[in-house]
Structure 1
Amino acid sequence: MPNRKVLIVQHAAWERAGRIEDNLEDVGLERVTMNVATIKKPQLPPLEELAGIVLLGGPMQANDYEHFPGLKAEAKLAKAAHSAGIPVLGVCLGHQILAQALGGQLTLGKTLQRGVDQVKWVATDDAVSSWADKKTTVLQWHSDSVTLPPDAKLLAKSPLTKVEAFRQGSALGVQFHLEVTMPIFEQWLEQPEVTEGLKKSQIAQLVSDFQEADPLIQPMADSLFSAFAARCSTCAAQPVRE
């Protein structure tokens, strides 16, 4: 059987895996990247070919199956992977897709949370053990949020978002963006739909804020994503649970 790979699911060209992929590469894991959001019946890899799944962010709503029917297939695969013990990481939109797949509910937001902010870590996890009861700096870019899936552990929250991060078995969801590097962020801000309604001065402030926050985000991202990569590496060497 060929080497098992980590599936990275994109929802927009500018939403890239960044630091997640760097950590997967560090442990020698092969990756395959797909964007199936607009495909009604996408041909996603079978579980036996996967060492992990990454669901990235995107501009659409996580339950907009009318315009993006592929999101339903992503959720189904994420749920099956979780049941099989395969690591699944959801980021922003991916966090919402994952939470829904595991029984959480999507709440549509009216206000866009955009830019550098803080979250508070409220529980320990193998990837975030040193941050419990601490506030950390993150990049936010979302309006919708989710409720905590049944039996999931809440890891982080913020005043505006009750579920910023959660763990349920092999599944980890994070509402914020630790994967984004400065080049990726600059590419975001080149997209008209990302910067809609922003003045040039506001865009410049976002860049300045992120440049200042990036050194604080980097070690946190490496900790979380290296732990995910280690889980994927372990999974790659094991048979899939039936």
Structure 2
Amino acid sequence: MPMKTVAIIRHVHFEDLGTFAEPLARAGYEVKYYDIGAHALPARDPAATDLLIVLGAPIGVYEEDEYPFLREEIDLLTARLGAGRPMLGICLGAQLIARVLGAKVYPSGVKEIGWGPVDLTEAASTTPLRHLANTSVLHWHGDIFDLPRGAEHLASTAICRNQAFCVGSNILAVQFHPEADPTAGIEPWLIGHAAELASAGIDPRDLRDGAKAINPSLPARARKMFAEWLEGLRS
């Protein structure tokens, strides 16, 4: 029986699958990273891969002129969404899904960077996101999006009303970073985003100390959440 395939669009090397790598392996997926700037994007044919995951980046969906590859990603996502093929978007990936679904993506005027909880909606109580209730996750963004028409609202914070949404069982978008593992250390994030932290007046020592204070059950909860979502996918 052939392995299932998952294509991972990675924009910066340290923002990878994190805790989500293990559930994919257990579920029998063959993982292939597509690093922007180093590899061409996956084939636009929705049938070419079983699952697409689009990871984060410190750029905006609306910056197509500065970063033309965003247009290619939007075309790829549009094809997959039109075919109802499974897809997960994290951070920028979530914003791209929202954009393709017709929602507005724009700067919030404030950076949400640090460890903190998300407020789950009543609808989320019956979804895999329920495993992240009453725990803190990593937030790292300055853009927000409106809830796409027809999407189910799953999570929010005081700064960002639309932290997560789904469309059926195959499409999940999360603005926060459930894949980030505080027990593995976040030094690559602090180095890679040093300029952003400085401009926002955020001390990297606070983020480092915050990671040490996070409930050690977070990685297991995140893996359980993602594994359950994978089990519910429809080809």
In which range does the TM-score fall when normalised by the shorter chain? 0.7 to 0.9
Q: 5+ residue gaps in structure 1? A: 236-242
Superposition pairs of residues 89-100 of structure 1, within 5 angstroms: 89-100=88-99
TM-score by length of 2: 0.86
Tell me, yes or no, if the aligned pair for 2:120 and 2:130 is still in contact at 8 Å: no
| SS of corresponding position for 1:30 | strand
Instruction: Note the alpha carbon deviations across 1:180-231, whole angstroms, 9 max, x for none.
Output: 12436221112233543478x9322211111221524223311321123324
Q: Deviations over 1:138-179 (max 9, x none)?
A: 110111000000000000111111100001122111110111
The alpha carbon displacement at 1:137 in A equals 1.5
- Give the structure 2 partner of residue 126 of structure 1: 127
Q: TM-score, normalised by structure 1?
A: 0.84
2:98, 2:148 within 8 Å by CA — same for their partners in 1? yes
Q: Report the RMSD for the aligned CA atoms in angstroms.
A: 2.5
What aligned pairs does 1:1-242 form with structure 2 within 5 A after superposition? 3-36=3-36, 42-45=40-43, 46-122=45-121, 123-124=123-124, 125-129=126-130, 135-169=134-168, 170-182=170-182, 183=184, 185-191=186-192, 192-197=194-199, 202-231=203-232, 235=235
Determine helix, strand or coil for the equivalent of 1:73: helix
1:110 partner SS: strand
What is residue 240 of structure 1 aligned with on the other side? none
Pairs aligned (count):
229
- What runs of 5+ residues in structure 2 fail to find an aligned partner? none
Q: Secondary structure of 1:167's partner?
A: strand
Change over 3 Å in CA distance of 1:101–1:20 after alignment to 2 = same
Distance 2:77 2:232 in 1: 16
C-alpha contact (below 8 Å) 2:107/2:144 kept by paired residues? yes
Equivalent residue of 2:79, what SS?
Answer: helix
* Counterpart amino acid of residue 78 in structure 1: L
SS at match of 1:111: strand
